[in-house]
Amino acid sequence: MKFKNLLAFIIAVCTMTTVGFSQAIKVNSDGFVGIRNSSPDYSLDFEAGKANFDNSDSYDEHLRFNLINADPRICSENQVVFYDNNDNEWIDIQCQSVSEMSDSTLKTNFQNLKGESLKKVRNLKGYSFNWKSNPNGKRHAGLLAQQVERVIPEAVSTSDSSGRKSISYSHVIPYLVEAIKQQQNRIDLQEKQINKDSIAMDTLRTKIIRLEEKISLIQSQCCSESINDKEKKSGKLNATVPKNARQSARLYQNRPNPFSDATTIDFYLPEKVQKAVLHIYDMQGAPVKQYSIEKREDASKTIQGGSLKPGMYLYTLIADGKEVDTKRMILTK
């Protein structure tokens, strides 16, 4: 029956004078129409039974509610369930958006979900599936109501008539929100611990480097003292080591180290060295500075702290294309 003929049908039926129809349809003095209801309280009042609106022969006709109130309502003492034509399977509902009542003034007995949310979410399992009514059709994704009921029982309801269970996914969302926050808090704590460990490792590296530098300095001093002792025993009391006593180039630890204003790097280059270069690198091995060394024998190079950024550096002495030695130095702020 087409919707545009519905009103004409009702009026026609109401004009019938048979006893059966007069008992089935009642129009009271207010103009309210009752179907199987002799005392209608609404403009159209049904009493039990079923109502069928069929527009299967046309796609341009609608069951239209033209309501001008700010909050038009479809009222029910229980749930509103949408079934297919066989009254045994649920159907899809399509709309632009759904808004659920969540006003805080209507709620009471609040409980914080913070402590248990992550554990509950980890016990949920997601699936992709087909409905048995359409096993070869479009696949869906979701949760299983029976599993969810064991974890978040307030999200699951059971139909009184069929005993089948349904999930209110909006009841799961608060647990997801709190679980994400709880997980992020754990990540933040881990990142803080990692940063602390990284700082501790950097401090330890610095201490190791300084210890290596002290050892290197002690070794160089011991070597120098050994040479001086030999000179003294041979009757050579001059403080300067003769040329033939040191045949190879040497690089010494900078002083002071660490430094802030300036530091001096000492080295020894035999006269036979034709080309010598002092290179400075950052800890990633990228070149920062280089200085050509013209002086031979005992010499030094002063590095100004303002020419470098604070940090740890490597310096290498190259003599005739060969590395003499590499050492570390630290520039503080």
User: CATH number, domain at 314?
Assistant: 2.60.40.1930
pLDDT in tens, 151-194: 999 999 887 777 889 999 999 999 999 999 999 999 999 988 98
Residue 42 domain boundaries: 1-75
Alpha-helix residue ranges (DSSP H) falling in the chain: 6-14, 19-24, 117-122, 145-151, 173-233
3-state secondary structure 189-249: HHHHHHHHHHHHHHHHHHHHHHHHHHHHHHHHHHHHHHHHHHHHHCCCCCCCCCHHHCCCC
CA angle 192, 195, 198 (to 5 degrees): 150
Strands 311-319 and 322-331: antiparallel
CA-CA distance, 53 to 89, in Å (whole number)?
A: 18
Mean pLDDT of 9-25: 53
Mean pLDDT of 228-241: 47
Whether 251 has a pLDDT exceeding 80, the answer reads: yes
Pick left, alpha or beta for residue 231 (phi over 0 → left; psi -120 to 50 → alpha; otherwise beta). Answer: alpha
Last residue of a domain, one of 75, 104, 125: 75
Among 226-235, 299-308, 315-324, the range scoring the smallest mean pLDDT is 226-235
Among 28-42, 45-59, 111-125, 140-154, the range scoring the smallest mean pLDDT is 45-59
* Residue found by looking up tokens 């087909």 in the block: 130
Last residue of a domain, one of 9, 44, 75: 75
Is 311 inside any structural domain?
yes
Strands 33-35 and 44-46: parallel
Last residue of a domain, one of 75, 99, 115: 75
Domains held by the chain: number? 2
287-311: string of b/e by CB count within 10 Å (b at 16+)? eeeeeebeebeeeebebebeeeeee
- Report the 10 Å Cβ neighbour count for 109: 4
Q: What is the DSSP string of 315-332?
A: EEEEETTEEEEEEEEEE-
Query: What residues pair up with 279 in beta bridges, in sequence order?
Result: 290, 316
CA-CA distance, 65 to 3, in Å (whole number)?
A: 12
User: Alpha-carbon dihedral of residues 128, 132, 134, 138, nearest 10 degrees?
Assistant: 0
Mean pLDDT of 13-18: 47
Is 279 inside any structural domain?
yes
Of 119, 121, 139, residue with least CA distance to 129? 139
Is 208 inside any structural domain?
no
User: Alpha-carbon dihedral of residues 137, 138, 143, 144, nearest 10 degrees?
Assistant: -10
Predicted pLDDT at 190: 92
**Cβ–Cβ < 8 Å for 167, 148:** yes
pLDDT in tens, 58-108: 666 666 766 666 677 777 777 777 777 666 677 777 778 888 888 899 999
Is 84 inside any structural domain?
no
Is 98 inside any structural domain?
no
